[in-house]
Chain A
Amino acid sequence: FRPAMHGRPRVRTTEEQRAAKAKERAAKVIEYRAAMDDAMRLRQLCQDSLAGLEADERRKNREQLLRVTQALLQANPDIGTLWAARRETLQQIEQQQQQQQQEQQQQQEQQKQQEQQKQQEQQQQQEQQQQQEQQKQQEQQKQQEQQKQQQQQQSDEAIVAQLSNELQLTAACLMQNPKSYGAWHHRAWTLDRLGVSRADLAGELRLTRQFLQRDERNFHCWDHRRHVCRLGGVPASEELAFSDKLLTANMGNFSAWHYRSRLLLAQTDGGLTAQTRKRELDTALSAMFSDPADTAPWAYYRWLMSPPSEPQRLLWLRYLSRNDKSDNTDWDNDENVSSCVLMCLSRPVTKAWLAKLLDIRLLPAGNNGDGCRLEAEDPVPVAAVSGCGSANPAAHLWRLPIKAADGVEVIRVSVGADSTLMSSTVSTAAPGRLRLLPSPTQPSAVDEALRSEQLNLIRQLNELAGDSRQGLLTEAALLPTPAEALPLLDRLAQLDPTRSGAYGHARSRLAVRARLQEAKSEPETLSLAGLGLTALPLMHEFAFVSELDLSDNRLTRLPGQVAGLQLLQTLDARRNRLADADACRPLAACRRLRVLRLTGNPLAEEAAALAELSGQLSERVRIELD
């Protein structure tokens, strides 16, 4: 990734120095151009149909090409085309040697056949000598076999010698340019061609160790080592021991910690055993205690203690009917659609996913049996989070159009498969009623006793070492409830103002989560007022609200997911930091919005901006500025 110049200081030079340098450079340019032209010409000659040239000439061209490219590559190993030229040449040499071998074998076969014929004739005449002749034949065959093997070996040795040249050349290039993509790749290519049986893999591992001694973070070298280990089937345990050695020498070696993480995951197929986790935690902790200022072990530690990612969950359903008089929206023009179910999932999914894993059933009054499966109309994403064009949008919220038949009372929505199946129902008799699913208690892969024990240790360490970014981040990550982490995030923002945006975002998420948990009884009127929010995450979780209070926060814009608040009628956004119409753009999609309160925002003082906002929103929206 570092094709251009890095780490080269600007130096003030005299007129004289500049002139001398210019002269030197002019000469280099001429030299380079001549060598490149030569290389290209030779390559062309080698590539062209070889029929016109004598074998000797061909060989000479190839050797010259190898010489010229060697010099150029040692000066600059990033000229990819030259490595390609060498690889072609090696392939040609290999091909030619194989051809020669075949020709020799054919000749030998012919000779053998001729001799056999002769012998047969003689046999008819001299049967006494038959036995002797047979012996002779066998000996000759043996000799020919040996010859063949020798030739195979020679030809093998010849190719190996050529490939060894490539190893030498790449090593020389890497000594000068240890981060050259071209040199490392050519080396790996060469090793692959040598294969496990002929390559000196132990030597190769030694080489990587040498380069890592020069620069323990050289990711090219690390990647090469991984390649060699894969080629040679080196067990993870050996490499873990290697990483151990490096970490003992320097606990701050990020690359070595990273290597451990991947080796462990590979060993256990993606999940750490409790035993492994404990051992790694102890290793990280001892590093953290011995030098708390070293950041690498802290990051590794947090990874070890991080909970598994949240599984997919069906969060809520809401049935909407055209016949519902309390619903004040315009329905879509599609006459056939009389109702729909709004569905919310904790993680965004695509239509393709739903096609496989969504099941909607209409159950008649009395709710007996399986009901009849609805051939779902295309589910419609609401406030999609992503999607190139509209090829495959992903969303938390989906509108499931339902053509309800007479007598249907219950609609069951099921999502997922087998063990991950989530299911719930809504009643058509109570349109608009929200069905909020209870959050299941999740078994954590990190058990409570461990978490509690580790929290104590980290607190001890933080007391000893004083407030630090790593210490606070880690302690916050170990706390059992969101509310407890809030003061830590505040301290982090003070200690590390550079990243206050990140901490504010995390804080906002925790604050919203806490408020949502409290609001279970009357969720459709949600207050997120006075939480110091700088961001507004988790909106899909409360996208069913009809009244939302965001007043007295620090929002500079209403994020895109606001467009998912399809049932929102009143939004109180007073005393935030909304500065222009653009900051409120997503509100245009909130079809049921009727009241918007904006007092105390910079936007409220700007007549032009307000006019623009008005134009964006439906005329049914009343903007209040009292």
Chain B
Amino acid sequence: TDISLPADAPKQLLPEKHADFLLQYCSSQDNYEYVMTEYLRMSGLYWTASALDLLGRLPDLRQRMDAAAFLRDCARPDGGYGPAPGHDSHLLYTLSAVQVALLFDLRDSLDAGAIAGFVRGLQRPDGSFQGDRWGEVDTRFSFCALAALFLLGLGDRLDDLVDARAAGDFVLTCANWDGGFGTRPGSESHSGQVYCCIGALSILGRLHELDVDRTALWLAERQLASGGLNGRPEKLPDVCYSWWVLASLAMLGRLSWISGERLLRFVCAAQDPEAGGIADRPGDLCDPFHTLFGLAGASLLRLGGDSLKAINPTFCLPVDCLDRHGLRLPLWTGD
């Protein structure tokens, strides 16, 4: 299972085009896509803003929207954030809100204590996190919880705020025989979940408890002949996995285990040379989600030239954004 790259697909990165695409995408509030994706809009804003920041064009977005107001309108009484005004709070959108606040330099407008309280209230006795009060458990939420706390500057107080040990123990129970990680204990390995689990363990400083080579080999096996990366065995390649897989390998110090050049060729081929933006695979419709992750992957590989800022693999935020806020997570340097 793979695709072949069309002969006439773009072979270079087109940063200018992507900036235009991103700005245009959220310019109209009546835009169909904008309205119909209301249920994840906070994340949509984060994808758009982070991608624009990588391209050095975030100021253009700042001009066009009142991010502070949007954050305010999405804050819920329980301390968490919803995806859009009127929607319930959830860990996914709470992390996105913190990321948005960092990008727009609105960190002071966040009530770190309230958010921490919201996060703590979602941890279960087995160390897992549910996404909201209705109980869905997913290792994505473990990552959201820990990353949100870290990005609020609470990284050295994790033990006080949540049961950090149990959080890590739970993530480790989701490790599978093949080196990957799943949604819950027993779930099949999936690149997205691997990213979240590696990210969580990275924040907790427990990567040394893994069989790193086994996990890295599973990740390396995601690369197909087309150069693209898939989410798990026998699945089609998808640009977003360029990020989940690549960032995981970067966190494990093994970026060289896949072919960066072939991956970049795939990402370039997935661009829309006319309207800009990047799609999940060549020829498909583009969206901010895939645009961010395609650019983020290219940035990690340092194959974007000067047109892309350096990106942090754990948080998918530009390095200078984290530096600006005094946030530093040392990368693992083990074997």
Q: Which residue in chain B gives the minimum CB-CB distance to A219?
A: B188
Q: Which residue in chain A gives the minimum CB-CB distance to B223?
A: A498
Tell me, in angstroms, the Cα distance from A32 to B287 when the chains sit together: 21
Decide yes or no whether A464 CB sits under 8 A from chain B: no
Task: State whether A386 and B208 are in contact (beta carbons under 8 Å apart), knowing that A219-B187, A501-B257 are contacts in the complex.
Answer: yes
B229–chain A nearest beta-carbon distance, Å:
11
Does the CB pair A505–B254 fall under 8 Å?
Answer: yes
With a CB–CB cut-off of 8 A, which chain A residues contact B43? 3
B187–chain A nearest beta-carbon distance, Å:
6
Does the CB pair B88–A84 fall under 8 Å?
Answer: yes
Tell me, in angstroms, the Cα distance from A540 to B216 when the chains sit together: 21
Tell me, in angstroms, the Cα distance from A603 to B287 when the chains sit together: 42
Instruction: Render A467-509 as a binary contact track against B, CB cut-off 8 A, 1 for contact.
Output: 0000000000000000000000000000001110110111001
Instruction: Render B307-335 as a binary contact track against A, CB cut-off 8 A, 1 for contact.
Output: 00000000000000000000011101111
Task: State whether A81 and B87 are in contact (beta carbons under 8 Å apart), knowing that A3-B43, A6-B238, A394-B205 are contacts in the complex.
Answer: yes
With a CB–CB cut-off of 8 A, which chain A residues contact B187? 219, 222-223, 226
Tell me, in angstroms, the Cα distance from A537 to B252 when the chains sit together: 13
A344–chain B nearest beta-carbon distance, Å:
13
Decide yes or no whether A8 CB sits under 8 A from chain B: yes
Decide yes or no whether A391 CB sits under 8 A from chain B: yes
Does the CB pair B289–A1 fall under 8 Å?
Answer: no
Q: Which of B217, B258, B272 contacts A10 (CB 8 A)?
A: B272
With a CB–CB cut-off of 8 A, which chain A residues contact B205? 350, 386-388, 391-394
Tell me, in angstroms, the Cα distance from A84 to B186 when the chains sit together: 27
Listed stretches B13-21, B62-70, B119-127, B129-137; interface member = B129-137
Task: State whether A10 and B283 are in contact (beta carbons under 8 Å apart), knowing that A538-B335, A561-B334 are contacts in the complex.
Answer: yes
A327–chain B nearest beta-carbon distance, Å:
26
Interface of B is mostly: loop
B297–chain A nearest beta-carbon distance, Å:
16
Q: Which residue in chain B gives the minimum CB-CB distance to A227?
A: B184
A residues 1-48 in Cβ contact with B at 8 Å = 1, 3-10, 25-26, 28-29, 32-33, 36, 40
A residues 30-83 in Cβ contact with B at 8 Å = 32-33, 36, 40, 76, 78-81, 83
Decide yes or no whether A162 CB sits under 8 A from chain B: no
Does the CB pair A9–B284 fall under 8 Å?
Answer: yes
Does the CB pair B176–A261 fall under 8 Å?
Answer: yes
Instruction: Render A296-323 as a binary contact track against B, CB cut-off 8 A, 1 for contact.
Output: 1001000100000100000000000000
Does the CB pair A32–B188 fall under 8 Å?
Answer: no
Task: State whether A1 and B140 are in contact (beta carbons under 8 Å apart), knowing that A32-B36, A219-B183, A223-B184 are contacts in the complex.
Answer: yes
Interface size counted on chain A using CB atoms at 8 A = 77
With a CB–CB cut-off of 8 A, which chain A residues contact B189? 258
Instruction: Render B180-214 as a binary contact track against A, CB cut-off 8 A, 1 for contact.
Output: 00111011111010000000001111111001010
With a CB–CB cut-off of 8 A, which chain A residues contact B287? 4-5
Does the CB pair B329–A3 fall under 8 Å?
Answer: no
Tell me, in angstroms, the Cα distance from A358 to B212 when the chains sit together: 26
Does the CB pair B178–A299 fall under 8 Å?
Answer: yes
Tell me, in angstroms, the Cα distance from A10 to B43 when the chains sit together: 24
Tell me, in angstroms, the Cα distance from A334 to B7 when the chains sit together: 67
Q: Which residue in chain B gives the minimum CB-CB distance to A303?
A: B177
Decide yes or no whether A559 CB sits under 8 A from chain B: yes
Chain B contact residues (Cβ within 8 angstroms of A): what range? 35 or more
Does the CB pair B333–A383 fall under 8 Å?
Answer: yes
Does the CB pair A537–B335 fall under 8 Å?
Answer: yes
Instruction: Render A443-478 as a binary contact track against B, CB cut-off 8 A, 1 for contact.
Output: 000000000000000000000000000000000000
Decide yes or no whether A385 CB sits under 8 A from chain B: yes
With a CB–CB cut-off of 8 A, which chain A residues contact B333? 383-386, 559-561
Tell me, in angstroms, the Cα distance from A299 to B262 when the chains sit together: 24
Decide yes or no whether B233 CB sits under 8 A from chain A: yes
Tell me, in angstroms, the Cα distance from A40 to B38 when the chains sit together: 14
Instruction: Render B225-265 as a binary contact track against A, CB cut-off 8 A, 1 for contact.
Output: 10000001111001000000000000001101111001000
Task: State whether A255 and B178 are in contact (beta carbons under 8 Å apart), knowing that A80-B39, A309-B211 are contacts in the complex.
Answer: no
With a CB–CB cut-off of 8 A, which chain A residues contact B107? none
Tell me, in angstroms, the Cα distance from A329 to B138 when the chains sit together: 51
Decide yes or no whether B8 CB sits under 8 A from chain A: no
Q: Which residue in chain B gives the minimum CB-CB distance to A44?
A: B86
B247–chain A nearest beta-carbon distance, Å:
14
Does the CB pair A501–B335 fall under 8 Å?
Answer: no
Does the CB pair B178–A389 fall under 8 Å?
Answer: no
With a CB–CB cut-off of 8 A, which chain B residues contact A217? 188, 232, 234-235
Decide yes or no whether A348 CB sits under 8 A from chain B: yes
Decide yes or no whether A252 CB sits under 8 A from chain B: yes
Decide yes or no whether B60 CB sits under 8 A from chain A: no
Does the CB pair B257–A502 fall under 8 Å?
Answer: yes
A sample of 29 inter-chain contacts (CB < 8 A) reads A3-B289, A26-B32, A29-B36, A78-B40, A79-B39, A81-B82, A217-B234, A219-B183, A219-B187, A258-B176, A261-B177, A299-B178, A347-B208, A386-B206, A388-B156, A389-B330, A391-B156, A391-B158, A394-B205, A394-B206, A498-B223, A498-B262, A499-B258, A501-B257, A502-B217, A504-B256, A505-B213, A505-B257, A509-B213
The 8 lowest CB-CB distance pairs between A and B, nearest first, are: A560-B333, A385-B334, A501-B256, A4-B289, A348-B208, A502-B257, A25-B32, A387-B205
With A3-B37, A498-B258 known, 11 other A-B pairs at CB within 8 A are A36-B38, A87-B134, A226-B187, A252-B234, A258-B178, A259-B188, A383-B333, A385-B207, A385-B332, A389-B156, A504-B256
**Interface residues, chain A, with chain B CB atoms under 8 Å away:** 1, 3-10, 25-26, 28-29, 32-33, 36, 40, 76, 78-81, 83-84, 87, 181, 185, 189, 217, 219, 222-223, 226, 252, 254-255, 258-259, 261-262, 265, 295-296, 299, 303, 309, 347-348, 350, 383-389, 391-394, 497-499, 501-502, 504-506, 509, 534, 537-540, 559-561
